[in-house]
Amino acid sequence: MSQSLRFMTFNLRVVCESDGVNMFFNRAHRVAEVLERERPDVVGFQEVTDSMRAWLREHLPGYTAVGCGRGKDYHGESMLFAYRTEETELISLDNLWLSPTPRVAGSTFGGDQSPCPRMMTTALLKHNRLDKPFRFVNTHLDHHGAHARYLGAMQLVQYLSACPEPFVLTGDFNATPDSPEIRLIPQALAGRGVVDCTAGLPGTFHDFGKLQGEDAIKIDYIFTDGTCEECHLVEDIPVAGQYYSDHFAVTATIQL
């Protein structure tokens, strides 16, 4: 029996002292407010450093947060995601690096990729309102290399093609909707009826309000082979110049 669940993709912006009033731990309470208000069943975070990961695990009541850092030592930025503990069971979890050696921590494609390793955190989840489990994947593609992003998108497509379960893919793809790496995903998975829930939404990266209106850049996405019923940007009205992040969080209601 199909049911509708709420999914979110949320780039939190790393801890950066030069952000001033918008440094993460100054605005962390606003992040918590967004999650309390939106109440996603599952949320995929990006740019979560070790200290941020510890804070989220302590300050997200009702959620279990999982994921490891992308570095060789499993520390650093993570593709952390969180699910509602009382309603969802974690069946399996995997952390894979976007590279020719996905199980080698800290590995990359090389070439035009930045020094930053990139990865996906993926899980098989069973929600108590669903008869069968679903696959959730959270990622963050490279900010520098277009070829590295395309290779990362191809690896995601190959991975999802081998997953028999319905899926939801969230992430910051660092690419606009007309880019080859974004167009690849629904095209390569057309046989599964994959849709971009965020199609039609405006820009998602606003750089703490510096990019207004049409200047905001669309780089955050939610893809699924389920039925997307609704999708929206989460409003971010600054208070004394403080935003909840430099990206809008995006929430989608998806029938699986």
What CA–CA distances, in Å, run from 231 to 3, 120, 137, 172, 211?
16, 22, 18, 16, 21
Residue 40: count other Cβ atoms within 10 Å of its Cβ.
24
Q: Tokens 């918590």 label which residue?
A: 32
Q: What is the pLDDT of residues 173-203, one digit of tens each?
A: 999 999 999 999 999 999 999 999 999 999 9
- CATH number for the domain that contains residue 159: 3.60.10.10
Q: What are phi and psi of 107, to 5 degrees?
A: -75, 155
Q: Tokens 């100054």 label which residue?
A: 26
Please indicate, yes or no, whether the overall pTM of this predicted structure exceeds 0.95.
Answer: yes
pLDDT mean across residues, the chain: 97
Q: What are phi and psi of 151, to 5 degrees?
A: -65, -40
* Separation CA 17–CA 198 (nearest Å): 31
Mapped onto helix, strand or coil, the DSSP state of residue 144 is coil
- Give the pLDDT confidence score for residue 134 in this predicted structure: 98
Angle between helices 24-38 and 50-59 (to 10 degrees): 40
Q: Which domain holds residue 249?
A: 4-255
Burial class, 156, CB count within 10 angstroms (exposed 0-12 / middle 13-18 / buried 19+): buried
- Go through the chain and tell me how many residues it has: 256
What CA–CA distances, in Å, run from 234 to 27, 50, 77, 245?
16, 25, 23, 11
Q: What is the pLDDT of residues 11-26, one digit of tens each?
A: 999 999 999 999 999 9
Average pLDDT over every residue of 49-69: 97
Domain count, the chain: 1
- Give the pLDDT confidence score for residue 1 in this predicted structure: 64
Considering the chain, what percentage of its residues have pLDDT values greater than 70?
100
Considering the chain, what percentage of its residues have pLDDT values greater than 90?
99
* Separation CA 41–CA 85 (nearest Å): 9
